[in-house]
Amino acid sequence: MNNLLKLPPLSLYIHYPWCLKKCPYCDFNSHDSEVQEGYINALLRDLDEDLQYVQERKINSIFIGGGTPSLMSVKDVTDLFVGLNDRLEFSPNIEITLEANPGTFEVERFAEYRNVGINRLSIGVQSFNDEHLKFLGRIHSAKEAQNAILKAQSVGFNNINIDLMYGLKGQSIEQCISDITRAISLNPSHISFYQLTLEPNTLFFKFPPRLPGDEVIWEMGENGSRLLNQSGFHQYEVSAYSKSPSVHNLNYWEFGDYIGVGAGAHGKITKINSSEIVRTLKVKSPKDYLVSVNKNKQNSRINLVENLAFEFMLNSLRLIDGFDLKLFESRTGQSIELLKSQMKRAKKLGLLDTENHRIKPTSRGFSFLNDLQEIFLS
């Protein structure tokens, strides 16, 4: 492997693990317990330990996920950003996203979040149908979801993502399309449209609900995707449609670097001198994290010979427009020639297009993405 000449862009992920109520489909590290004191200080101590990974780079994006980060008090958000600004240099056009619930309690803080420096909201609507929201265990109504988006826009947020879920119990194709139509009418910049999946360690996995049949769910996805694209929301990733793609999302899929702080947070870091890729993982339990913020940190190094190319392809093949050959070489330090036989096989199967110095999934490859990605696993 050749040494990298230039480090990839750098982002920051911050995990906030508390919710008012744990949703039955959620497999994220979230806890419906009382918010514990001292978490902001713990985040900043955690970041102090990881400042070595900055390597003189500016931060291009920040994503605060959870849990429900919009439960944070204005004081906590202010203290957090004072600490971040003291430790990091932000890019002039930095994208700073906060995941938010549409509940009235959180909406009242939107203006103050904007004043602190957050410039993008990702609002967990999931559906504009009250029955479907009840099934998903959401604590907001369809009306509250719409009001939250309008409130965010009224206080200056012009970069908003709406999360929508399909394949829900009792959901018809018409109801799915109605959700999308209503989201589009609210003029967000980004819509995440994804299928409900029954993940291990969730209530829905333990007690599976009766969902629509596979053919109906497939038609929901196809019709929904078509409507979004026709309405000016370009699909740039498996479940992401936008007028302006998320900087943070693109950094993940283009194999950029990111520091992860918070309970259970992941990070991916490239070391310039050795071209070594390091994966970081923070202790998952919020209680343990607060007590010993970095004593239980785990690092893993990707096997550079066998797994680096697969790690890159696993991410970048999720992009509908694929990637330029130069991106592979600049992110991995390897020659694309190493993947020649795999690319030939994928192309023969009709899963991959390799024209004009770009590699991208065909429409068939995008439909059978797991099969395409597995071809590149050594």
Domain endpoint, select from 225, 251, 277:
251
81 and 191: one domain?
yes
93 and 193: one domain?
yes
23 and 148: one domain?
yes
238 and 331: one domain?
no
345 with 375: CB under 8 angstroms?
yes
What digits encode the pLDDT tens for the residues 198-213? Answer: 999 899 999 999 999 9
49 and 156: one domain?
yes
Q: Is 125 within a domain?
A: yes
H-state helical runs in 108-213: 110-116, 130-135, 142-154, 173-185, 203-206
Ordered mean pLDDT values, 10 residues apiece, the chain (378 residues)? 74 94 87 80 94 95 94 94 98 97 82 96 97 95 96 96 98 98 98 96 93 97 97 97 96 97 93 77 89 62 64 94 92 88 95 92 94 87
Name the pTM for this structure: 0.94
Q: Is 5 within a domain?
A: no
HSE (side-chain half, CA atoms, 13 Å) at 35: 17
Residue 278: the pLDDT is 86
Domain count within the chain: 2
376 and 239: one domain?
no
Q: Is 295 within a domain?
A: no
Per the structure, the complete domain to which residue 158 belongs is given by: 10-251
What is the 3-state secondary structure of 8-59? CCEEEEEEECECCCCCCCCCCCCECCCCCCCHHHHHHHHHHHHHHHCCCCCE
190 with 240: CB under 8 angstroms?
yes
203 and 315: one domain?
no
14 and 162: one domain?
yes
Any idea what the CATH number is for the domain that residue 111 is in?
Answer: 3.20.20.70
154 and 75: one domain?
yes
What digits encode the pLDDT tens for the residues 126-176? Answer: 999 999 999 999 999 999 999 999 999 999 999 999 999 999 999 999 999
* Neighbouring residues of 208: CB distance < 8 A, sequence distance ≥ 6: 198
